[in-house]
Chains A and B, each alone.
Chain A
Amino acid sequence: GNSVTQMEGPVTLSEEAFLTINCTYTATGYPSLFWYVQYPGEGLQLLLKATKADDKGSNKGFEATYRKETTSFHLEKGSVQVSDSAVYFCALIPNTNAGKSTFGDGTTLTVKP
């Protein structure tokens, strides 16, 4: 079946540090890939997405590139802020009629001033 593996957390960074959260996936075919962010006590917000190989999704300074050869979709940001503190989920939707999302375990990011 499909699966998503995220780097283990929690991750603690100082403000303006560089962020990488690793995500690799297993799926048949070519799934669409997503990063969601969940702030404390809130729901899931789509952060960015990529629907085919070599696509780069970007939003609010975050980026992730769909790498088919390494089955990866790592999240990066050049300079994190305290307000980026949240839980980040990598997810995939397969290119089939099923369409259910498969999520990674989530990575908790804490940014200290």
Chain B
Amino acid sequence: EPEVTQTPSHQVTQMGQEVILRCVPISNHLYFYWYRQILGQKVEFLVSFYNNEISEKSEIFDDQFSVERPDGSNFTLKIRSTKLEDSAMYFCASTQATTHEQYFGPGTRLTVT
């Protein structure tokens, strides 16, 4: 069964460094998402992406964040200058249609020290 994959599974970085989190969505899906979950808290929406552009973003998704689909298969989340409060689990998701279930990847645990 096709699945969403994410790399790395765990990323440790120093405050102020740039990180890129990578996702490979399911191949025939058209809509892509990033969510984050701070330890012990709820899952929060960051951004949705369709047709090579952002379709919606939350207030969390400020100028330090960007997304890209560089080659038609990968979907990346970049944080330009990480802060301690960016430490969280980041989940990528994809779907065929916006009202259909979203398929989540296993997550990348980002630790900012």
Closest residue on chain B to residue A41 by CB atoms: B109
Give chain A residues whose Cβ lies under 8 Å from the Cβ of B42. 89, 103-106
Interface footprint category on B: 20 to 34
> Do the beta carbons of A34 and B104 come within 8 Å of each other?
no
Closest-CB distance, B30 to chain A (whole angstroms): 10
Interface residues of A in 41-60 (CB under 8 A from B): 42-46, 49, 51
Q: How many A-B residue pairs have CB under 8 A?
A: 68
In whole angstroms, what is the CA distance A32 to B99 when docked?
7
Interface residues of A in 30-45 (CB under 8 A from B): 32, 34, 36, 42-45
Interface residues of B in 59-113 (CB under 8 A from A): 89, 91, 93, 95, 97-107
> Do the beta carbons of A101 and B98 come within 8 Å of each other?
no
Partner of A97, one of B93, B98, B104: B98
Closest-CB distance, A63 to chain B (whole angstroms): 17
Asked if B43 is an interface residue, CB under 8 A from chain A, the answer is: yes
Partner of A103, one of B31, B43, B105: B43
Give chain A residues whose Cβ lies under 8 Å from the Cβ of B45. 100-102
> Do the beta carbons of B91 and A99 come within 8 Å of each other?
no
Residues of B that sit less than 8 Å from A by CB? 31, 33, 35, 41-45, 48, 55-56, 89, 91, 93, 95, 97-107
